[in-house]
Amino acid sequence: MFHKIKKEELTWGESLGQGSFTKIFKGKREEYIDCDSHQMDVLLKVLDHTHRNYSESLFEAASIMSQISHKHLILVYGICAVNKDNIMVQEYVKHGALDIYLKKNKNKSRVNISWKLEVAKQLGYAMNFLEDKRIVHGNICAKNILLTREGDAMTGLPPFIKLSDPGISITILPIEGKLRIDRIPWVAPECIGNPRNLSLESDKWSFGTTLWEIFSPGDLPLNSLEPSQKLQFYQDYLRLPAPKWSELAHLINQCMAYQYSLRPCFRAIIRDLNRLITSDYELLSDLPPSEI
């Protein structure tokens, strides 16, 4: 399962924003290693009181991430359940969530094609690790990618990301509820009607949507559509607006195949990303990011 953390170990810091059912805070965790105390930065993910009935799902998310360790997966220290609060304690990642970072650095030269391809490849490695272990994440999106290191084009230092925990699973969201429709187009079509269809294949669909997010600076896919139109998008087998870079568009559409058995495995996805990295995308690199 997961380690139980005492509330006395934790010191609360500033609020860092919120996820869909949680609020996040910076914090410190006091821990004693061979009887001298160490203070480490942690991220405290607190389940909203109004969603206390979802605590099972928060524990499940913590449990999945606690069972495995990989350099591109977030480290979860444990859960602190104190009176009404359920708190997931995880490593503090310096630069926060990728979706916000991409918006903030929309036209910065640092966040260029090779930077984005490197982030996509690292996410592919994390997903390949989960696929090999037959572990379904269930909530792959740019908001759940955390930036440990920004990278530096001058010195060629690449960025470094970690995949966050999946948070509250869609399997417990009310059926035709808005909350589930809001996950379109990240959640695979076969999971909208029946979230029990969450699988290794549905993670591939979400990876495709996340690739689209990474390369479309800060835009949210289908952001302008009403919930009913989002459902219609799947019923009409529609596709996201293709990036100009046709090889990238092809990879995104392969991951977002409506027929889930046609979606490539992550080994193939990583191979294709490596081809994009070595391809002559230099031709593209003098295009403004929005032109990709």
Ligand X SMILES: N#Cc1ccc(Nc2nc(N)cc(-n3cnc(CCO)c3)n2)cc1
* Interacting residue ranges for ligand X, rule: CB under 6 A: 16, 19, 24, 43, 74, 90-94, 96-97, 143-144, 146, 164
Q: Are 142 and 120 in contact (CB under 8 A)?
A: no
Nearer to ligand X, 16 or 231 (CB): 16
Count, residues in the chain: 292
The neighbour count for residue 132, using CB atoms within 10 Å, is 12
Residues 6+ apart with CB under 8 A from 9: 29, 30, 31, 80
Nearer to ligand X, 89 or 211 (CB): 89
Secondary structure (DSSP) of 59-81: HHHHHHHHH---TTBPPEEEEEE
Nearer to ligand X, 164 or 216 (CB): 164
Q: How far is the CB of 236 from ligand X (least distance, A)?
A: 30
Chain-centroid distance, C-alpha 179: 17
Give the CA angle between residues 254, 124, 273 to the nearest 5°: 60
Q: How far is the CB of 105 from ligand X (least distance, A)?
A: 13
The neighbour count for residue 274, using CB atoms within 10 Å, is 13
Q: How far is the CB of 164 from ligand X (least distance, A)?
A: 4
Nearer to ligand X, 142 or 292 (CB): 142
Q: How far is the CB of 288 from ligand X (least distance, A)?
A: 26
Assign 165 to helix, strand or coil: coil
Helices (H), ranges, 29-188? 55-67, 98-104, 113-132, 178-181
State both tokens at 219: 């835009």
Nearer to ligand X, 164 or 202 (CB): 164
Nearer to ligand X, 143 or 204 (CB): 143
Q: How far is the CB of 134 from ligand X (least distance, A)?
A: 23
Nearer to ligand X, 189 or 210 (CB): 210
Nearer to ligand X, 24 or 184 (CB): 24
**Position 271, amino acid:** R
Q: How far is the CB of 16 from ligand X (least distance, A)?
A: 4
Q: How far is the CB of 285 from ligand X (least distance, A)?
A: 28
Q: How far is the CB of 81 from ligand X (least distance, A)?
A: 19
Output the CA–CA distances (angstroms, integers) from residue 188 to 22, 105, 139, 195, 202, in the order listed: 23, 29, 10, 9, 5
Cα-based torsion angle of the residue sequence 76, 158, 115, 254 in order, rounded to the nearest 10 degrees: -60
Q: Please identify the residue of the shown chain whose CB is closest to the bound ligand X.
A: 96
State both tokens at 142: 């740019």
